[in-house]
Structure 1
């Protein structure tokens, strides 16, 4: 079984979609930190401790499925996998010190984030948290990295993150406030990585162009027996910022390295490369409307498998507190080895090591998906950083006649529901 993929360019969406976070690729910047609780603002603590902040967030939701599948699962949906059941998806606490890539001096910061909930099942690192519990609600270190800004080579210098990192590829991220919907696109679940142990570098060459590169142990693996093969992997890509009068931003990121398990395909897993490629373009039409397109292609040499897809997003601000969101996707899994649903709480991580993992799979399928929803995000004040209610309806369908949904009974699936997010 192929290991799944996930999501992270932090703060990739504002009103559902904006490119500001795509340019920072996960580094918390000073303006964001101002909205958080400052723990050491007094000069008594020294300059380094100033700006250390704490924030918390909780998310829960439900996706109803009128077809009531016998196994109780919404096929192809990780975060809302249990049909007709309310889930506590995330409780997170984040301690961080921001760095500001725009300042031409040496800086050091950090991010420590703990997460508890059902989403954690899919974001473990092998050997760190995947064996804590077999319950639906699990605990992970979602982030634990040091952030450094070095004023080297160019005016805006080099940013480094090292440690436990949420993978920087893709539009939709683990943080629900950075994406427009409760559920995720197929691309965001199966064709981008989720979590890495390693380092990533963002070199700000000129204001319009950033270069990204990095190295890690593999998607959701660590070292020794907790790596499914003996090879490293890494990223390379670029950002083009502020095109079309500042309205257009483009992010390209590729990842290269073996990701298959030796248990599955033998020693050639150490050299059989997986090539992940993701291109995102975000265009801000005006103060109300923004659109994003994502093109993704994945090729796995060891599995002799490919996926390719296109995802479109639209966000329209109906009022200062209400945003309409649209997502449309065509996704091709040409081998049937990527799109799946895991039937037990530890099955996803077991599949990465290719040990027993009860799974519902599908034959090679071209998937079509459309999701419509609104985000109500009033400013409550009083220390409430964020409050969102996000109802959505979703239509999934096989476009080539297969029947992957509702225990393989149907060519299509209709779900509706949403989530609520509260943060301080």
Structure 2
């Protein structure tokens, strides 16, 4: 659509730029409170506006010949500054503690280099073909429903960010600029479908959902003809309220009929399994652990991984972050770097894609960083800087890094964020 109507993309991006240049801290209410307003007017006045801008660089002293930091999506281009995200969100949150019904919505537009990896086939994957692309990062209606249990159900329907794993598309929702291998290759990114959280007790939530597949939609924009879905459990308020454990599994065909044929693509299951535990040792120290296993029948591929995190808020505006990971790609079919701006989504579709892969490899990765986050005023706006250093290494002697020359890779860099 944008290729035929470039003026439309220009207007939309200009609006996002104007909004995101306003430095504030929390989401801004679009309408002032109105004492004595009726219920509908109060709902309307609960609509908020939020935005952010995020950019960074991943420097690689080895200067790979193809210019790509292998195994990285967000910081994939070595030694190049990138505008990662220019983001605008309009939302009306639901009240999760409501005794009756509560309704809301979320609309989020995102432009930047990160968007290349978060498209939905048939919606945004062919809007732009440059380094910086645009997506509807979220577009869903939300509801709190007094069904099934005394605590009710929270439901989201539409374009949804995938819920699996501790690292989020929103850079504020993860400790580092770069992602773990698990966060890139063993969890899904975005869906068109439904997710529901059933609050069974104050300690137990049941998670379920159904969608068209990872980053697919309907008809020819689905890489196969079958749906996929989630099932899982969250245990909250454990260890005197300090511990939360989430187990989430996903199952359904995910491979393309163009690659495997219609029959096999529709029947070959992919199983994603992720267990995440978050323990708040104190007000300033948090430990997180993730165990993940993925199996794909169609590709005959498996991955296993363990990721550990530590976050220590050691000063008022400073947080130290650690991440250590061991990730096994048993076939070499999962970990790839995509060499053109459209290659990732072409791989999802099953069409011609230019990618660099490696033999079966066990990856070890250590990432260390510090986040400096400062409010711009007492109530509105924030500015954050997140420098990081990262060491990646093949633990079984393969040479996947720096255009296939090295068994290890050292990178450093980070990002800067401003938002409201």
Calculate the TM-score normalised by the size of structure 2.
0.92
In structure 2, the partner of 1:280 is 276
Q: Which residue of 2 aligns with 1:181?
A: 176
* 1:59 match: secondary structure: strand
Question: 2:266 maps to which residue?
Answer: 270
Question: What's the offset of the Cα at 1:251?
Answer: 0.6
1:29 aligns with none
1:38 to 26, 29, 45: 29
Q: Secondary structure at the match of 1:171?
A: coil
Q: 1:383 to 1:134 in 2, by over 3 A?
A: farther
Q: How much has 1:265 moved relative to structure 2? A: 1.2
| 1:258 positional shift | 0.1
Please state if 1:238 is matched with 2:196.
no
- Say whether residues 1:220 and 2:215 are aligned partners: yes
Counterpart of 1:165 (choices 138, 152, 160) is 160
Q: Is 2:295 aligned against 1:295?
A: no
Offset, 1:382: 6.1
Q: Does 1:397 align with 2:388?
A: no
Which of 54, 75, 79 matches 1:59?
Answer: 54
Aligned residue for 1:126? 121
Assess if the C-alpha contact under 8 Å between 1:41 and 1:51 holds in 2: no
Matching residue of 1:20: none
Q: What secondary structure is seen at the aligned counterpart in 2 of 1:381?
A: coil
Matched, 1:374 2:365: no
Alignment partners' CA distance in 2, 1:139 and 1:288: 36
1:47 deviates by 2.1
More deviation in 354-363 or 112-121? 354-363
Select between 34-43 and 266-275 the one with higher mean Cα deviation. Answer: 34-43
1:50 paired residue number:
45
Are residues 1:144 and 2:135 paired?
no
Tell me the distance in 2 between the aligned counterparts of 1:296 and 1:251.
12
Residue 313 of structure 2 is aligned to residue 313 of structure 1: no
5+ residue gaps, structure 2, are 1-24
CA RMSD of aligned residues (A): 1.1
- Contact kept? 1:36, 1:385, Cα under 8 Å: no
Displacement after TM superposition at 1:385 (Å): 3.1
* In 1: Cα distance, 2:377 partner to 2:246 partner: 34
Cα offset, 1:103, TM superposition = 1.9
Aligned in 2, Cα 1:156/1:386: closer, same or farther, shift over 3 Å? Answer: farther
CA displacement at 1:388 relative to structure 2: 0.9
Deviation at 1:101, TM superposition (A): 1.0
Q: Distance in 1 between matches of 2:32 and 2:270?
A: 46
Indicate which of 327, 334, 342 corresponds to 1:331.
Answer: 327
Which whole-Å CA distance do the structure 1 matches of 2:216 and 2:380 have between them? Answer: 36
What SS does structure 2 have at the residue aligned with 1:114? strand
2:89 is the alignment partner of 1:94: yes
Give how far 1:383 is off. 5.8
SS in 2 for 1:206: coil
Deviation at 1:411, TM superposition (A): 0.1
CA distance in 1, matches of 2:43, 2:97: 18
Aligned counterpart, 1:84: 79
Aligned to 1:193: 188
Describe the superposition over 1:276-304 as per-residue Cα deviations: whole angstroms up to 9, x where unpaired. 00000011111121100000000001111
Deviations 1:70-95 (A, max 9, x none): 00010000000000000000000000
- Name the stretch that deviates more: 60-69 or 35-44: 35-44
* Corresponding residue to 2:103 among 70, 88, 108: 108
5+ residue gaps, structure 1: 1-33
SS at match of 2:385: strand
| Aligned mates of 1:242, 1:42 — CA distance in 2 | 34
- Which digits, 9 at most, give the CA deviation of each residue in 1:82-130, with x for residues without a partner? 0000000000000000112122120000000000000000000000000
Distance 1:383 1:96 in 2: 20
Query: Aligned with 2:200: secondary structure?
Result: strand
Question: For the residues of structure 2 that align with 1:342 and 1:382, how far apart are their CA atoms?
Answer: 43
Deviations 1:345-395 (A, max 9, x none): 000000011111110111100000000000001222166433210000000
